[in-house]
Amino acid sequence: MTISAPPKSQLVDQFARRISYLRLSVTDRCDLRCAYCMPEKMTFLPRKDVLSLEELHDMALGFIARGITKIRLTGGEPLVRRDMMELVTALGRKLEDGLEELTMTTNATRLAEFADGLAAAGIRRINVSLDTLDRETFARLARRDSLPQVLEGIAAAKAAGLKVKINTVALKGINEGGIADLIAWAHGQHFDITLIEVMPLGEVDEDRFDHYLPLMAVREQLEQQWTLTPSDHRTGGPARYFDVAETGGRLGLITPLTNNFCDGCNRIRVTATGQLYACLGGNEQVDLRAALRSADPQAALDEGLDLAMRIKPARHNFAIDAHGQAPALARHMSMTGG
Counting contacts by CB under 6 A, is residue 107 touching ligand SF4? Answer: yes
Cβ atoms of 282 and 313 within 8 Å: the answer is yes
Q: Which window, 156-164, 197-205, 231-239, 265-273, contacts ligand SAM (CB under 6 A)?
A: 197-205
Stretch that binds ligand SF4, among 25-33, 153-161, 190-198, 308-316 (CB under 6 A): 25-33
Phi-psi bin for 290: left (phi > 0), alpha (psi -120 to 50), beta? Answer: alpha
Residue from 105, 175, 194, 271 binding ligand SAM (CB under 6 A): 105
User: How long a stretch of residues is the chain?
Assistant: 338
Given the complex with ligand SAM, which of 13 and 175 has the nearer CB atom?
175
Is 301 in contact with 276 (CB distance < 8 Å)? no
Least Å from the CB of residue 328 to ligand SAM: 9
123 binds, among ligand SAM, ligand SF4, none (CB under 5 to 8 A by kind): none
Q: Are 26 and 76 in contact (CB under 8 A)?
A: yes
Judged by beta carbon, residue 153 or residue 274, the one nearer ligand SAM is: 153
Query: With respect to ligand SF4, which residue has the nearer C-beta, 34 or 184?
Result: 34
Q: Which is nearer to ligand SAM, 105 or 146 (CB)?
A: 105
Which residues on adjacent β-strands are paired with residue 242? 230, 251
The candidate with the shortest Cα–Cα distance to 292, out of 283, 284, 303, 282, is: 303
Residue 309 CB partners (closer than 8 Å, separation 6+): 11, 12, 13, 14, 19
Quick one: which segment of 49-57, 103-111, 223-231, 245-253 binds ligand SAM (CB under 6 A)?
A: 103-111
Site for ligand SAM in 26-55 (CB under 6 A): 30, 36-37
Q: Are 292 and 271 in contact (CB under 8 A)?
A: no
Rule CB under 6 A: say whether 199 interacts with ligand SF4: no
Say which entry of ligand SF4, ligand SAM, none residue 33 contacts (CB below 5 to 8 A, set by partner kind).
Answer: ligand SF4
| Nearest of 202, 198, 208, 205 to residue 335 by alpha carbon | 202
Q: Quick one: 164 exposed, middle or buried, by C-beta within 10 A (0-12, 13-18, 19+)?
A: buried
Q: Can residue 88 be called a binding residue for ligand SAM (CB under 6 A)? A: no
Binding segment (CB under 6 A) for ligand SF4, from list 17-25, 74-82, 184-192, 311-319: 74-82
Residue 207: φ, ψ to 5°: -85, 115
CB of 139 to ligand SF4, least distance (A): 13
* b (16+ CB within 10 A) / e for 23-39: bbbbbbbbebbbbbbbe
Of 72-80, 110-118, 134-142, 300-308, the segment contacting ligand SAM by CB under 6 A is: 72-80
Where helices occur in 66-128 by DSSP H, the ranges are 84-92, 111-121
**Contacting residue, 20, 27, 103, 106, with ligand SAM by CB under 6 A:** 106
> Is 76 a binder of ligand SF4 (CB under 6 A)?
yes
Q: Which residues bind ligand SAM (CB under 6 A)?
A: 30, 36-37, 74-77, 105-107, 129, 167, 169, 196, 198-199, 201, 333-334, 338
Residues that bind ligand SF4 (CB under 6 A): 30, 32-34, 37-38, 75-77, 107, 129, 334
